[in-house]
Amino acid sequence: MTAPTSLEEYRVELRDWLSSDPAALRDLRGWAELEHERYVALGQELSAITWERGFKRFGWPVEVGGLGGGPRYRAVYYDELCAAGLFVPEGDFSGEVLGPAVIRYAPALAAEYGAAMLSGRELWGQGFSEPEAGSDLAALRTRATPTEGGYLVNGQKVWTSNGHLADRLFTLVRTGPADSRHRGISVLFIDADSPGVLRRPLEFASGAHEMCETFFDDVTVPTARRIGAENEGWAIAMFLLQFERAMYSAQRQAWLLARLRELAAQLRRTGQSGDPAAADVLGRAWLAVSLLRTKSAQTVARLDAGETVGPAASADKVLLAAAEQGVLDAARELLGAGFDALDENASWRAQWWYSRASSIYGGSAEIQRTILADRVLGLPPEQARAARIGAPS
């Protein structure tokens, strides 16, 4: 594909190409049984193929090698990949969060590095959370001290998704006084192999090494690697959070819908599909995914129209946690004893473990409900508290 087409024409052409089972994609299936590092590498291969073919270039501006369009094209891309039995590359989760912010606030860096990330040649990590500044980003303490021509960075980050595998780290640092909170934060684009950067993978309950903690010890970063103006980091973080909420939800709902179909097929093979109780469990999981799918489509359409979604995107995060845990809980319930015992269910078990954190990572469900109650619905304090804890008002 070399020129933008209508959204529906794009969907049909992408679907037809995927259904033709191109030889280049055949070795990329069976991903669910792979170790995380190999899965990440496989995603980069998939991105390289679809970028070269042109499909992945849609939805991204020409300044980073794209073919134009907007976020809706990207949502269709993830939908069709998952429906075809493939997956959303790991690099695209961070890419959807960080890419738009770099394009907007650091166009020179986007022009230099954006195509490398989108085409799978590079992986970017998101250095936000710290040991004592998880959901409260304004409390972060990693410091960037101004020097001649740049900054000297010292501090620690934790829970950096794929940070130990990343080539570059989009890092929030404190450039204002210690008590400056959100007013004294900047963003630096740090090469992960810079002298003084130490990364230690963290092991999940599933055994996967998907995140890491990162230490910065007198790391030199040039001024040209700052994203946006000094002390503008909070505004940049708020800008990208709407993509983290909306586009991540669009990616995950595509994956969850595909997994739900796989679960239904597995039950048909074992003769359970006619069981009314099983149908009820599947139906409830399907309803949770459908709610997420509908909401994320609305939010992506707003982003596509150039709107600022803001705190309303927290609804997508709440629905995502419900859908993710709903699908994986359904698998655990319906696969019975085999869920814990059979090798064929190893990927289901790993994904179930991962889903336990879906109501915590990226801002807990309680925090998201507080944002919705206070900043979207404008509820009085008592009603806001009831909404936060999920109790009837």
Active site residues: 244
Residue 45 identity (one-letter amino acid): E
Residue 131 identity (one-letter amino acid): P
Query: Residue 24, Cβ neighbours under 10 Å: how many?
Result: 14
**CA 2 distance to own-chain centroid:** 27
In degrees rounded to 5, what are phi and psi of residue 271?
75, 20
Rounded to whole angstroms, the Cα distance separating 129 from 187 reads 13
Rounded to whole angstroms, the Cα distance separating 308 from 291 reads 22
Token pair for residue 129? 């959370």
Tokens 């803001």 belong to 310
- Please give, one letter per residue, the 3-state secondary structure of the chain: CCCCCCHHHHHHHHHHHHHCCCHHHHHHCCHHHCCHHHHHHHHHHHHHHHHHHCHHHCCCCHHHCCCCCCHHHHHHHHHHHHHCCCCCCHHHHHHHHHHHHHHHHCHHHHHHHHHHHHCCCCCEEEECCECCECCCHHHCCCEEEEECCEEEEEEEEEEEECCCCCCEEEEEEECCCCCCHHHHEEEEEEECCCCCEEEEEECCCCCCCCEEEEEEEEEEEEHHHEECCCCCHHHHHHHHHHHHHHHHHHHHHHHHHHHHHHHHHHHHHCCCCCCHHHHHHHHHHHHHHHHHHHHHHHHHHHHHCCCCCHHHHHHHHHHHHHHHHHHHHHHHHHCCHHHHHCHHHHHHHHHHHHHCCCCCCCCCHHHHHHHHHHHHCCCCHHHHHHHHHCCCC
